[in-house]
Amino acid sequence: MRSLVLLLCTAGVVLAGSLPFRQSGFNAGPDGTPEGWTAWSPRAEIAPRTFVDAVHSRGQQGSLAISGNSNPAVFGGWQYTVSGVQPGKWYRLVTHYRTEGQIYQPLHLWARLDWTAADGRRAGQPEYGYATTPVEGWNRITTQAPAPEKAAAVKVQLFLLNSAQATVWWDDISLEEVPAPPPRNVTVASINFRPSGSKSAAENVRRFVEVVDKTVPAKVDVILLPEGITIVGTGKTYVDVAEPVPGPTTEKLSEAARRHNAYVAAGIYEREGSAVYNTAVLIDRTGKVVGRYRKVYIPREELEGGITPGLDYPVFETDFGRVGMMICWDLQFADPSRALALRGAELLLLPIWGGDETLGKGRAIENRVFIASSGYDYPTYVMDPAGERLSVASQNGAAAVATIDLNRRYVEKWLGDMRGRFMNELRLDLTVERNRVYTTPGN
C-alpha cells in the first residue's frame, strides 16, 4: 500500500527500465513489490490486493498477482514504466495471465500501454491489448501500436477491474520495438446492376457476369454482387430459383473468379433438403467455393415466401485478410456486424436489396470495419471504418472500386484506437431478456 500511496500522490514518472524489456519471474522487495514495479489504483478504497506469488508462474519462479479482495468496485494492479520510447516507432507488448474466479476477460482484465511525455503527462491515448491466445494453461495477450506524438516513455499496466472474487496472475512479460506493419492493400469492386426482363436465373447470372467483365479493372481482389442475383427482375419465386451450393450459379461465378483472379461474393437462393436459404457465397481466385453465409435475419415477407433463417455468423480467411458477410435485413440489427467484428472480420461484404443508409454507416463506425455494399434500392459503395464512402457507383451497370488498407489505424484524437476500445469495452457479459408482456402500455 505504501507504493500505491506514493504513486497516487506523485505527479512525475518514475523510469523503471528501458527497451527492450523482458521479465519472467518476480521477487518481492522489502516493501513487497518487485524492483521497478509499483501498485496503482485511482482511489485507495478500491485498490486491489497486489502481491508476488511464488507458487504460480509460467517461466521463472514468481508472478505478479492481483486479488479482487471481495471489493466489487476494485480497479488497479501493477505498473512498470519503460523509457526510450520514440514517437512514430512501433512497440509490441506481450504478456501472459491465468485467472481464478469469475472473469470476463475484455471487461475485467487490462493489459495496456499508457504513453507519457517527458514531463510525465499522458501522450496520446492508451493502447489496449485484446488479441488473446491460449498457451499451455495460460493466456497470452498481444498488442502493438505506434508511440504517439511527444511520447518519451510508456507505462506497462496490468490491471484487474470490478471483479470482487477473482484473482489474476501475470507473468512472462515483454515490450520491444517492432517494425511498422506494411500496408495491406485490398482492391474491392462492388457492382451496381439491376437486370430486368430476364426469363431465368441463368440469364440473370450471365448478364451479371457480363457487367463484371465490362466494368471491373485489372488487379482487383474482391468483386461483390448484390442480393438475390438469380431472382431480381425475373418474376420467379424463391423456390423457383433455389439451387444447391456448389451448383449452376456458383459454377458461372467461379469462371469469373478465375478469369479476374479475384474473390467473388454474391447473393443467391440455396436449397438444402426442404429448406431454402437466402445465401451469400464466397468464391476464391481459383474458382473454389470457400464461404457460405445463410441470412440470419429474415423479414416476414421472406418468411412468408418460404425462406429458412441461418444460424451462424461465419468469418472466412482469405489470402489478404478476414472477411465476413451480411445480407440486407441483417443490417437492421446490431448483432450480425458485431458478431463478425468480434470474430475478427476486417471487411464486411453486404449484398443488399434495400435498407437504411444511416445504419450502414453506423455499422462501420461502431465496429471499426470496412464495408462494401452492392444493392438495388441501396447505394453501392466501399466504406471505411470512419463511415466515409471511398467510392460509390451511382449508375446501373457501374462498379464502385476502391483500394483499402486493412492495416491502417483509424485513431480519434480524444478516444484513441476505437477498434481496441470496442473489443475491451463491449458489454457482452450482460444478458437482456425480451419483455414477456407484449401488450401496448395503457391497453
CATH number at residue 353: 3.60.110.10
Q: Name which residue leads in pLDDT, 6 or 367.
A: 367
Same domain as 190, residue 168: no
Same domain as 39, residue 92: yes
Rounded Cα distance between 57 and 61, Å, is 6
Which helix (H) or strand (E) is 337 found in, with range?
helix 335-342
Domain membership of residue 436 (yes or no) is no
Rounded Cα distance between 32 and 50, Å, is 9
Q: Which three cell numbers stand for residue 425?
A: 469495452
pLDDT at residue 98 in the model: 96
Percent of the chain past pLDDT 90, that is, above it, reads: 86
Written as one letter, the residue type at 157 is Q
Per residue in 338-348, pLDDT tens?
A: 999 999 999 99
Same domain as 109, residue 65: yes
Same domain as 381, residue 349: yes
**Residue 413 pLDDT more than 80?**
yes
Same domain as 243, residue 164: no
Domain membership of residue 232 (yes or no) is yes
Domain membership of residue 99 (yes or no) is yes
Same domain as 209, residue 105: no
- Domain tally for the chain? 2
Per residue in 244-259, pLDDT tens?
A: 999 999 999 999 999 9
Same domain as 205, residue 320: yes
Same domain as 248, residue 171: no
Same domain as 328, residue 248: yes
What is the domain extent for residue 318?
185-406
What is the residue-averaged pLDDT of the chain? Answer: 93
φ, ψ dihedrals at 135, nearest 5°: -140, 100
Domain membership of residue 442 (yes or no) is no
**Residue 7 pLDDT more than 60?**
no
pLDDT at residue 5 in the model: 36
pLDDT at residue 431 in the model: 81
Rounded Cα distance between 97 and 168, Å, is 7
Same domain as 275, residue 361: yes
Q: pLDDT-derived band of residue 13, with 50, 70 and 90 as boundaries?
A: very low
Beta bridge partners of 383: 371, 389
Same domain as 400, residue 338: yes
DSSP per residue, 88-117:
T-EEEEEEEEEEESS--HHHHEEEEEEEE-
**Residue 8 pLDDT more than 70?**
no
Q: What average pLDDT does the segment 210-214 reach?
A: 98
Per residue in 19-36, pLDDT tens?
A: 999 999 999 999 999 999
* Count of Cβ atoms closer than 10 Å to residue 102 Cβ: 12
Q: What is the pTM of this model?
A: 0.91
CB 225 within 8 A of CB 374: yes
Rounded Cα distance between 95 and 110, Å, is 11
Same domain as 236, residue 343: yes
Q: What average pLDDT does the segment 301-322 reach?
A: 97
Domain membership of residue 355 (yes or no) is yes
Q: Which three cell numbers stand for residue 193?
A: 446492376
